[in-house]
Structure 1
Amino acid sequence: MRAIWKGALTFGLVNVPVKVYAATEDHDLPLHQVHASDGGRIRYQRVCELDGEVVPYAEIDRAYDDGAQTVVLTKEDFAALPAERSREIEVVEFVPSDQIDPLLFERSYFLEPDSTSPKAYALLRETLERTERTAIVRFSLRQKTSLAALRVRGDVLVLQTMRWADEIREAAFPALEEEVKVSDKELTLSAALVEGFAADFDPDAFHDDYQEELRTLIDAKREKGEAIDTAETFGEAAQQEGGEVIDLMEALRASVERTRKARGSDERASG
């Protein structure tokens, strides 16, 4: 991995030099657009609307237009902002971890200690674990001031950038404004259905079916060209009827029974 940022974590007078690494990567197959009739690749160009010339990326600046005036901002302007020059990840408070709405989270980054002695790094890590709190921090990265949560994952400090509160939309749906009565029998059956699916979460047990099927399709077209038979390639997919559930109790009973049978088959197979 290559560090994308270097700076220091600060809380109080404690300074923890760190390197920042992207914690995730995209596993999707790379696809590009082509002209359907001849397969020619579609490319996009940055064209100036005044002279019609293609503009190199190095010659592109950014601007703000309020409708009456356009203010051009150069790379030097951005670099001069005090927040952009700062190389600090400042801890502003330590909060109970369960108070942070997961909806706020965006990107995740690993922090590596960047000093000959990782003691300050270890101190912060152990403090977060013992207090069972998450550090809320502020820092600037890529021309943007970010709020982030700092937590522990194994032996590593992880930084998760967060959206600002005013960026979360209000979920106001008319259907949820009506009072809905749920019976005890429905709750009992629903709880039984949950118990039938209960398990300890193992992320390695889940796979991206779409990307696997896409790779299968690409391999088949490499071998047979456009004459592939998708039913032969993927098998006959079971057709499921969609639509709204009318009898909720009956659907719950059927689901619980099917889940029990499936669990029983799995246990017999493993035993």
Structure 2
Amino acid sequence: MRSIWNGSIQFGLVSIPVKMYSGSEDRKLELDMLDRHDNSRIRYKRVNEETGKEVEWKDIVKGFKQGEKYVVLEKEDFDNANMKKSKTIDIEEFIEEKEVADVLFKKPYFLEPQKEGGKSYNLLRNALKKTKKLGVATFVMRQKEHLSLVGIYKDALVLHVVRFADEIRDPGELKLPDTKVTKKEVDMAISLIDQYTTKFSFEKFKDVYNDQLMKIIKSKSAGKKAKASNYESKPTAASDLMAQLKASLEKKKSKAS
């Protein structure tokens, strides 16, 4: 793996030099955009809108529009905005794991100790594991400040980038129903949930969509026409709710026996 950020974790006066690696990978198939007429690839060019000429990467800078003019920002400007946050994952407090809402999570990153950071790395890892707590930290990467949670995954420190409060939209804008449900219906739904409750295992779940799409690609490359498929999900009517819950319970019971 190739590190994407080098710096240190800071908690109290303890500083742990670390390297950061992406903890996930995109399994989406790499598809090119083509011109339907001759299957030629579509290319994007970075073009100066005044001259119409292509601009090389080395000549591209970032700028903030102020009035009718741009303030151009160089790499050192981003670092100087907060040098400490650009180099340090600063743990500011610790919280219980169960306090964190899943909607906050965005992306995991693995942290690896650099030279001379082994003992302090293990110290933080073991302490977090024993207390079942997460470190709340902030740092800057790619010209953006991130809120993050530092925890454990398979004996490694893992940093979860999470969303700031102002990045979460207000669900109050949703049109949610106020339809009443009976206690009997809720009790039966709980029974169904209990029957489906198991110990979570990542290995149970596979990305099958990519495999199925690959089969279609192979079939088309062999000159075969892909089979048309159809799927329609019908909403359960309120009057059928109890019947469907009972049928679901019976189906689960028959599978278990």
- C-alpha distance in 1 between matches for 2:59 and 2:76: 13
Report how far residue 229 of structure 1 moved: 4.4
Unaligned 5+ segments in structure 1 are 232-236, 265-271
**Residue 242 of structure 1 pairs with residue 234 of structure 2:** yes
Q: Which residue of 1 aligns with 2:217?
A: 218
Q: Paired residue for 1:269? A: none
Q: 1:229 to 1:124 in 2, by over 3 A?
A: closer
Q: What is the letter of the counterpart of residue 40 of structure 1? A: S
CA distance in 2, matches of 1:10, 1:262: 51
For the structure 1 residues 176 and 228, does the alpha-carbon distance in structure 2 shift closer, same or farther, using more than 3 Å as the test?
closer
TM-score by length of 1: 0.86
Distance in 2 between residues matched to 1:256 and 1:141, nearest whole Å: 49
1:6 matched to which residue of 2? 6
**Structure 1 residue 244, shift from structure 2 partner:** 4.5
Number of residue-to-residue matches in the alignment: 256
CA drift of 1:230 comes to 1.5
1:53 shift after superposition: 0.6
Aligned in 2, Cα 1:172/1:99: closer, same or farther, shift over 3 Å?
same
Q: Identify if the C-alpha distance between structure 1 residues 171 and 66 changes in structure 2 by more than 3 Å, giving closer, same or farther.
A: farther
SS in 1 for 2:171: coil
What is aligned with 1:21? 21
The answer as to whether partners of 1:136 and 1:147 remain within 8 angstroms in 2 is: yes
Q: 1:3 to 1:138 in 2, by over 3 A?
A: same
* RMSD across aligned positions (CA): 2.2
Per the TM alignment, residue 162 of structure 1 is displaced from its structure 2 partner at its CA by 1.3
Q: Deviations over 1:1-47 (max 9, x none)?
A: 11112111111111111111111111111001111121111111111
Cα shift at 1:192: 2.4
Identity, % of aligned pairs? 36
Alignment correspondent of 1:203: 202
Measure the CA separation in 2 of the matches of 1:253 and 1:206: 26
Alpha-carbon distance between aligned partners in 2 of 1:217 and 1:89, rounded to the nearest angstrom: 45
Q: Map of 1:28-39 to 2, 5 A cutoff? A: 28-39=28-39
CA distance in 2, matches of 1:72, 1:84: 22
Q: Deviations over 1:108-147 (max 9, x none)?
A: 1111111246111111111112222110011111111111
Change beyond 3 A, Cα 1:154–1:209: closer
Corresponding residue for residue 185 of structure 2: 186
CA distance in 1, matches of 2:83, 2:105: 22
User: Deviation digits for residues 189-213 of structure 1, max 9, x if unmatched?
Assistant: 2122223322221111111221111
1:172 match: secondary structure:
helix
Distance 1:186 1:138, change over 3 A: same
- Determine the C-alpha separation between the residues in 2 that align with 1:186 and 1:11: 49
Query: Quick one: distance in 1 between partners of 2:155 and 2:58?
Result: 40
Query: Any stretches of 5+ residues in structure 2 without a counterpart?
Result: none
Instruction: Specify whether residues 171 and 239 from structure 1 end up closer, same or farther in structure 2 by C-alpha distance, changes over 3 A only.
Output: closer
**Residues 142, 117 of structure 1: alpha-carbon distance in 2 compared, 3 angstrom cutoff:** closer
Q: Distance in 1 between matches of 2:231 and 2:39?
A: 33
Task: Indicate how the Cα distance of structure 1 residues 173 and 186 shifts in structure 2: closer, same or farther if over 3 A, else same.
Answer: farther
